[in-house]
Amino acid sequence: MKTIFIFYLFAVLLSGAERTQVHMGTLISVNVAEENLSDEVFSLFGDLDQRLSTYKENSEISRLNRDYEINASKETRDILERSLEMYRLSYGAFDVTIGSLTHGAYRFGYEDEHLPSSSEVQRLGKFVGSKRMVLEGNRVHILPGTIVDLGGIGKGYAVDLAIDMLKKKGVEKAVVAASGDIGCLGPCEIKIRDPFHPQGHIAAVVSTLPRFAISTSGNYERYIKNKSHNHLIDPKTGLSERRYASITLIDKGDNTRIDALATAVSVMEKVKAIALLKSLGIGYVLIRNDGTIIKNTMLEGIMLY
């Protein structure tokens, strides 16, 4: 589950039409002039939740995890394809087959959340690896023991679909926010939450682009006992990330990509992570646990202050 952004909009977007609902286990906010379009966005999120959730017994992903193969819908096939792309792009730091650890070992999101023993992590970690998942047309196969968890990419993907839908309907000014994943049409201003003082903010990003995407992952909202045991699990070690309090990535319009990469960067070595972000032209605000801020917006039409 992503951390919740505190955000507000330029006056040009303050239409008074902002609405919120809960979908995909988090608060979804939509700001668009036409109220009926908000309903369509919420319906889209609800539909994706029914397909992609690991917590809903009859979702496509739950059936995949239970039966080891499914005939996937277009949306499920597309997000799994993007997930494999992000796995390759991040050198394996992002891996949706991490569910045997996040759901099996740590039990994040369940009443019996707990810190697993090192032997439990080692045993269940053997089921992690995107090579254990194969896509053949609409058919998806996983090896027994593998659990797919789309928590690190699903909300960004949903934001992209919602923004694309609004664009096709001729909308030029709108904001769709799914916790820490936010997509904007038209100018907007986003405040980045202070991970050390959650009621405040540590920076703000102003976009004048026609399409803008921002995503944050952090260790300060979802953890077991203390922040050292947070939900950002390294798929290669089975352990929580220990470097960053907050990671914010900024892009011109691919929320799916930066949602996944925000998760990946949290467990990557700093030099390798920054080199990857620069090569992709993605802006970033990385806040280390000691309070050090590493930032680079890199994008025309974006101001960070």
**Helix, strand, coil percent content, the chain, rounded in steps of 5:** 35, 30, 40
Closest-CA residue to 176 (of 32, 16, 76, 1): 32
Residue 8 has pLDDT above 60, yes or no: no
Tell which phi-psi region holds residue 145, choosing left (phi > 0), alpha (psi between -120 and 50) or beta. Answer: left
Question: Yes or no: is domain 7-48+152-304 CATH 3.10.520.10?
Answer: yes
- Identify the sign of the CA torsion 116, 126, 84, 56: negative
Whole-number pLDDT of residue 116: 87
Name 126's Cβ contacts closer than 8 Å, sequence gap at least 6. 145
Name 258's Cβ contacts closer than 8 Å, sequence gap at least 6. 156, 213, 214, 215, 249, 250, 251, 282
* Three-class DSSP category at 13: helix
Band (235; pLDDT cuts 50, 70, 90): very high
Whole-number pLDDT of residue 223: 64
Reading the block at residue 74, the tokens are: 């277009």
Domain assignments of the chain as residue spans, ordered by start = 7-48+152-304, 55-142
Residue of 144 and 238 predicted with greater confidence = 144
| DSSP 8-state secondary structure symbol assigned to residue 147 | B
CA distance 30 to 278: 30
The rounded mean pLDDT for the chain is 89
Reading the block at residue 229, the tokens are: 């045991």
Whole-number pLDDT of residue 13: 45
Range from 92-101, 200-209, 219-228 carrying the lowest mean pLDDT: 219-228
Closest-CA residue to 181 (of 204, 158, 197, 150): 158
Name 87's Cβ contacts closer than 8 Å, sequence gap at least 6. 94, 95, 96, 130
Reading the block at residue 211, the tokens are: 């399409």
Whole-number pLDDT of residue 25: 87
**Could you report the per-residue pLDDT of 21-70, keeping only the tens digit for each?**
999 989 999 999 988 999 999 999 999 999 999 999 999 999 999 999 99
* Three-class DSSP category at 223: strand
Whole-number pLDDT of residue 241: 78
Residue 1 has pLDDT above 70, yes or no: no
What's the whole-number mean pLDDT along residues 101-123? 89
Whole-number pLDDT of residue 257: 98
Residue 304 has pLDDT above 50, yes or no: yes
Angle at 270 between CA 178 and CA 93, to 5 degrees: 60
Whole-number pLDDT of residue 91: 95
Do strands 7-8 and 188-193 pair parallel, antiparallel, or not at all (unpaired)? antiparallel
Between the two ends of the chain, the Cα-to-Cα distance in Å is 27
**Could you report the per-residue pLDDT of 11-24, keeping only the tens digit for each?**
234 445 789 999 99
Alpha carbon 259 to its chain's center: 4
Residue 229 has pLDDT above 80, yes or no: no
**Could you report the per-residue pLDDT of 250-300, keeping only the tens digit for each?**
999 999 999 999 999 999 999 999 999 999 999 999 999 899 999 997 788
Task: Tell which CATH architecture fits domain 55-142.
Answer: Orthogonal Bundle (1.10)
**Could you report the per-residue pLDDT of 59-85, keeping only the tens digit for each?**
999 999 999 999 999 999 999 999 999
